[in-house]
């Protein structure tokens, strides 16, 4: 293996670890991926690599929530068949996931390419990280009461709109949805579960739409091994980062992510303005 090929694999390994670690936590994986590519000198045109690593994160998160997914699917089908109240809560939760997915799905289809082209500068990421930090700080002490069975269509649409805003790099998808879920009154565990249940269909849609782009990627034979390494790194890192974040949420320590967003956002802004 030549030195250039080895360095390429190392760079993509690092990018995979970055994506995997930042996907579940409220600090914006897309923003950090752009920062990582800039620091490592890796140029990626389009969203192919992001979709690939996002698919790895999707698999890890589906594995973590496999029992919830199975229960929701089975009980939704049972409710549709029997209309028994014992299954109604899971049916409504599944319905709200569908409703909450619509805003990001529509805006992603309509404006995804525009966002990818015009909103990936370090300036944009710096500002959106600072906004994420402010939002995390504002809800740091919120203690909601709503559980899975207490949600409404209004809650689902509000959180869904927050997820749509997270299409802009630097605005954390998990951060936007968790913050908004808590803000509308959900308990920490319900907010976390609803947030990542919303992530699954949106990510799955991106994966399906991105298959043709991946197949038609220029020099795919050259990038096959680096992409595979990044995929595997993302898969395992997402699993461990998600488990860690679930523990953080249980303790209500979101303020520490706020501090991180303030620090990184400020440093990026100062650098982009040539002040450091």
> How confident is the model at residue 48, as a pLDDT?
76
Give pLDDT, residue 244. Answer: 94
Question: Residues of the chain whose pLDDT is less than 70?
Answer: 1, 44-47, 112-113, 116-120, 211-221, 275-276
Distance CA 242, CA 206 (A): 20
CA dihedral for 207, 248, 175, 48, sign (positive or negative): negative
* 223 touches 45 (CB < 8 A): no
Report the length, in residues, of the chain.
276
Query: How confident is the model at residue 275, as a pLDDT?
Result: 66
Q: How much is the pLDDT for 100?
A: 93
pLDDT at 30: 82
**115, 216 in Cβ contact below 8 A?**
no
Query: Cα-atom radius of gyration of the chain, to the nearest Å?
Result: 19
The pLDDT assigned to 45 comes to 62
138-176 pLDDT, tens per residue? 888 787 788 888 899 999 999 999 998 888 877 888 889
């Amino acid at each position: 293996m030549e030195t250039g090929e080895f360095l390429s694999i190392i760079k993509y390994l690092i990018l995979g670890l970055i994506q995997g670690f930042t996907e579940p936590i409220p600090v914006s994986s897309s923003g950090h991926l752009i920062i990582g590519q800039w620091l490592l000198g890796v140029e990626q045109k389009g969203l192919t690599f992001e979709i690939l690593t996002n698919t790895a994160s999707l698999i890890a998160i589906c594995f973590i929530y496999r029992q919830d997914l199975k229960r929701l699917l089975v009980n939704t089908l049972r409710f549709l068949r029997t209309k028994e109240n014992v299954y109604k809560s899971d049916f409504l939760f599944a319905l709200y996931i569908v409703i909450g997915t619509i805003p990001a799905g529509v805006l992603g289809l309509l404006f995804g390419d525009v966002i990818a082209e015009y909103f990936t500068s370090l300036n944009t990421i710096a500002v959106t990280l600072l906004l994420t930090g402010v939002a995390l700080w504002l809800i740091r002490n919120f203690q909601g009461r709503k559980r899975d069975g207490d949600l409404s269509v209004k809650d689902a649409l509000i959180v869904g709109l927050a997820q749509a805003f997270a299409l802009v790099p630097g605005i954390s998808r998990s951060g936007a949805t968790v913050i908004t879920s808590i803000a509308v009154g959900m308990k920490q565990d319900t907010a976390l579960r609803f947030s990542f249940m919303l992530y699954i269909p949106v990510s799955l849609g991106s994966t399906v739409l991105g298959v043709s782009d991946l197949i038609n990627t220029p020099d795919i034979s050259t990038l096959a091994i680096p992409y595979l390494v990044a995929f595997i790194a993302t898969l395992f890192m997402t699993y461990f980062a998600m488990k860690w974040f679930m523990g953080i949420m249980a303790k209500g320590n979101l303020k520490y992510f706020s501090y991180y967003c303030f620090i990184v956002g400020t440093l990026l802004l100062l650098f982009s303005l040539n002040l450091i």
